[in-house]
């Protein structure tokens, strides 16, 4: 019998792609607030659960007896929600989900965010050095970012209390093949009129994020570790350091960027998991690839 993995946020953008990737090799318990129109999907059992309700997510996880939990079930931004609501929902749901995983003896992979580095500041700041690694101090601005740091604290608590590992993945702005939201920004970019851009024109293709989730699931490591998840290049098609200098007016003294490479390092994921991003906007913008058919 194949192993069981619980995936929260299973009907969301990235979460649905995770379910689609895992269902051929695992029994997937797919958790979201609602059920899809059709639940007749091979390898997937759908459950409608409000993650902020401790008893319901504990019962779901403990009953499934999973070897791992993949947690993507958070409100992804503050565009249509008050910051306090986003913080409360995300911090509470992440704590309950990770706690349930720990009590079930299940390892965890969950989606934190690049925004913990401070990408949403009204006037984004330069870091002390490039490329930015996981050691960069967090600088949250809004409730969403703060909720992700609370989740990382919950991850630390779970690994201290239970014999499980937790990978906190910090994805960049997730893009989907054939419908890249970064395209109009790239097309309008001009070095002469560039302004500050909080994440230094970074992104990640959803397929690379999914492959990192799988790599984390299938690798052995101990405790709580944080991993950047970024494409290998910026989405502008120009020299990264030149774009940053144009937008910010300067570069930090410690700047080791070459050509169009991302301003964020994924060396840790490469070292621990053997993972590297493989998709670039240069081909993915125009690719015609169908996503999961249950959403």
Backbone angles phi, psi at 145, to 5 degrees: -60, -40
The larger pLDDT score, comparing residue 79 to residue 69, is at: 69
What are the beta bridge partners of residue 31?
8, 47
**Can you tell me the distance from the alpha carbon of 258 to that of 184, in angstroms, rounded to the nearest whole number?**
24
- pLDDT, tens digit, for every residue of 253-289? 999 999 999 999 999 999 999 999 999 999 999 998 9
CATH level 2 (architecture), domain 4-182+203-233+264-278: 3-Layer(aba) Sandwich (3.40)
- pLDDT, tens digit, for every residue of 9-22? 999 999 999 999 99
Omega within 30 of 0 (cis) for the link into 213: no
Which helix (DSSP H) or strand (DSSP E) does residue 88 occupy?
helix 83-104
Look at residue 172 and give its three-state secondary structure.
coil
**Can you tell me the distance from the alpha carbon of 202 to that of 235, in angstroms, rounded to the nearest whole number?**
6
What pLDDT was estimated at residue 2? 86
The whole-model pTM stands at 0.97
Supply the mean pLDDT for the chain.
Answer: 96
Domain boundaries, the chain: 4-182+203-233+264-278
The residues near 261 (Cβ < 8 Å, ≥ 6 apart) are 131, 232, 233, 234, 240
In 3D space, the residue among 60, 48, 57 whose CA is nearest the CA of residue 4 turns out to be 60
Residue 79: pLDDT band by 50, 70, 90 thresholds? confident
Tokens 């194949």 belong to residue: 2
- pLDDT, tens digit, for every residue of 204-236? 999 999 999 999 999 999 999 999 999 999 999
Backbone angles phi, psi at 175, to 5 degrees: -120, 150
């Amino acid at each position: 019998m194949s192993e069981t993995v619980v995936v929260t946020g299973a009907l969301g953008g990235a979460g649905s792609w995770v379910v689609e990737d895992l269902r051929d090799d695992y029994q997937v318990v797919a958790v979201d607030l609602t059920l899809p129109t059709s639940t007749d999907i091979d390898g997937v059992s759908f459950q409608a659960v409000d993650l902020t309700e401790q008893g319901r997510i504990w019962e779901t996880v403990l009953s499934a007896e999973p070897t791992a939990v993949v947690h993507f079930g958070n409100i992804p931004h503050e565009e249509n929600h008050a910051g306090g609501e986003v913080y409360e929902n995300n911090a509470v749901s992440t704590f309950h989900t990770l706690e349930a995983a720990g009590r079930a003896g299940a390892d965890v992979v969950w989606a934190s965010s690049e925004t913990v580095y401070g990408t949403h500041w009204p006037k984004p700041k330069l870091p002390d050095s490039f490329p930015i690694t996981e050691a960069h101090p967090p600088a949250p601005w809004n409730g969403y970012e703060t909720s992700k740091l609370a989740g990382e604290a919950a991850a630390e608590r779970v690994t201290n209390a239970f014999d499980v590992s937790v990978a906190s993945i910090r994805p960049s702005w997730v893009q989907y093949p054939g419908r890249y939201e970064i395209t109009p920004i790239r097309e309008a970019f001009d070095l002469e009129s560039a302004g500050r851009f909080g994440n230094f024109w970074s992104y990640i293709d959803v397929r690379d994020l999914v492959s990192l989730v799988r790599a984390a699931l299938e690798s052995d490591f101990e405790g709580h570790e944080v991993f950047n998840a970024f494409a290998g290049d910026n989405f502008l098609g120009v020299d990264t350091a030149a774009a940053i200098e144009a937008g910010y007016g300067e570069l930090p003294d410690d700047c080791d960027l070459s050509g169009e490479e991302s301003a964020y390092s994924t060396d840790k994921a490469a070292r621990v998991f053997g993972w590297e991003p493989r998709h670039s906007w240069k081909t993915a913008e125009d690719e015609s690839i169908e996503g999961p058919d249950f959403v």
